[in-house]
Structure 1
Amino acid sequence: MNARVTDYDVLRVFCGPDGGHGNELAVVRDGSTVPDRGDRQALAAKIGFSETVFVDDPERGAIDIYTPTLRLPFAGHPCVGTAWLLDVPELVTPAGVVGARADGEFSWIEARPEWAPPRTLRRHATASEVDALAVPPPGEWIYAWAWEDEAAGRVRARAFPGRDDGIDEDEATGAAALLLTDRLGRALNIRQGTGSQILTAPQPEGWVEVGGRVFLER
């Protein structure tokens, strides 16, 4: 691998109202420094975040997304973070073209539920039940959720990837929020992990918007 592969930005995506929390994301702005998929996978594993993005064309917004163990055709928080970083109106992913926009302190993407990887959406009776959950053993990818205020669309959620790669719980997961929004058919205000915030809204023809705050760590 080229020595420049260590050049990447670190973002926090879906931060809380105070600017804290959020899910860390690595973005290699010059994907040409790591052209090989195997090298990209190795770097994503070395960085160790839930996702790492390689930008193959910053003007078109063409990106390539990796977890520490596999390549993803689409993922929520990487798309929100990278669209904010590149300031582009869309991203080109293997799954399809993702719309992007900024609205005040929030950055939004528009994507289709069928692009999201499979997730088990597991409803609990109360937010306190979700808070008390232990990390399950590796296996299925579980998005545990409960209403905090159903009338207001406020949800408490936690995400357990079920992978044996050192990431027991995902702090903020846009793809799972997209799937939950599609299932419930309504806009949501999700409090996930230790204090991350994800906003969602159904759109015409089966599209869903997912938005949140993004901060540049370094």
Structure 2
Amino acid sequence: MTDYDVLRVFCGPRGGYGNELGVVRDGSVIPDGRDRQALAAKLGFSETVFVDDPERGVVDIYTPSTRLPFAGYPCVGAAWLLDVPELVTPAGVVGTRIDGEFCWIEARPEWAPPRTLRQYASAAEVDDLEVPPPGEWIYAWAWEDEAAGRIRARGFPGRGDGIDEDEATGAAAMQLTHRLGRALNITQGAGSQLLTAPQPGDWIELGGRVVLER
């Protein structure tokens, strides 16, 4: 079996929750894209990262069913693990930094496939949602405290690949930040925390806590 690390990305304030991420540090052991896709499907994480050049930060990202040019939480996790100043993805170069307990990336919201951003009247409504049938990628959200920029969210990929709900979804958080034009403090899933901030030129900064699970 190929060696890989498991991280939890966007952990809560006490280190719990977060979205599990698989990282194959030596991507050269699986150079073929079809084999990478098969491993990502076997591992079953929302995303799996293959590191093709750890010094330059070149990464390749897969869900259980498809390859992604960019994704938020895999880039945050890989940036924390590799501790490099940038990551190179098929979509573009992602800036990275570690600031205390948070790891940050800076990227463009349009690099990820569009999500359906669906606003609800209250956090309670978001909490009570059932998983929708496969179809569009839905990011359900509501203000918890609009003045403070605090949001309650849940992510439903709608892919039909066994991932009914994403615990933490960086790309969707970036797209919501771009739409609202302000910094956000998002609680997603069971208790994950994502921080975002707009930057000049329509770039978005995305940050969170990362821990090595195994």
TM more than 0.5: yes
From 22, 30, 36, the equivalent of 2:32 is 36
The one-letter code sitting in structure 2 at the alignment partner of 1:80 is V
**Which deviations, in whole Å up to 9, do the C-alpha atoms of 1:94-118 show, x marking residues without a partner?**
0000000001000000000110211
Matches within 5 A, 1:5-154: 5=2, 7-154=3-150
Equivalent position of 1:185 in the other structure: 181
TM-score by structure 1 length?
A: 0.98
Unaligned runs of 5+ in 2: none
Unaligned runs of 5+ in 1: none
Equivalent position of 2:201 in the other structure: 205
Q: Distance in 2 between matches of 1:126 and 1:14?
A: 23
TM-score by structure 2 length?
A: 0.99
Q: Distance in 2 between matches of 1:36 and 1:76?
A: 23
Q: Distance in 1 between matches of 2:100 and 2:125?
A: 34
Q: Percent identity?
A: 82
Alignment coverage as a number of residue pairs: 214
The one-letter code sitting in structure 1 at the alignment partner of 2:98 is A
The one-letter code sitting in structure 2 at the alignment partner of 1:196 is S
**Which deviations, in whole Å up to 9, do the C-alpha atoms of 1:170-195 show, x marking residues without a partner?**
00000000000000000000000000
SS at match of 2:75: helix
**Which deviations, in whole Å up to 9, do the C-alpha atoms of 1:146-183 show, x marking residues without a partner?**
00000000000000000111110000000000000000
Q: Distance in 2 between matches of 1:62 and 1:189?
A: 29
Runs of 4+ aligned residues of structure 1 deviating over 6 Å after TM superposition are none
Q: Distance in 2 between matches of 1:20 and 1:8?
A: 21
Q: What's the C-alpha RMSD, in Å, of the aligned pairs?
A: 0.5
The one-letter code sitting in structure 1 at the alignment partner of 2:143 is W
Q: Distance in 2 between matches of 1:116 and 1:40?
A: 20
The one-letter code sitting in structure 2 at the alignment partner of 1:173 is T
Q: Distance in 1 between matches of 2:157 and 2:48?
A: 16
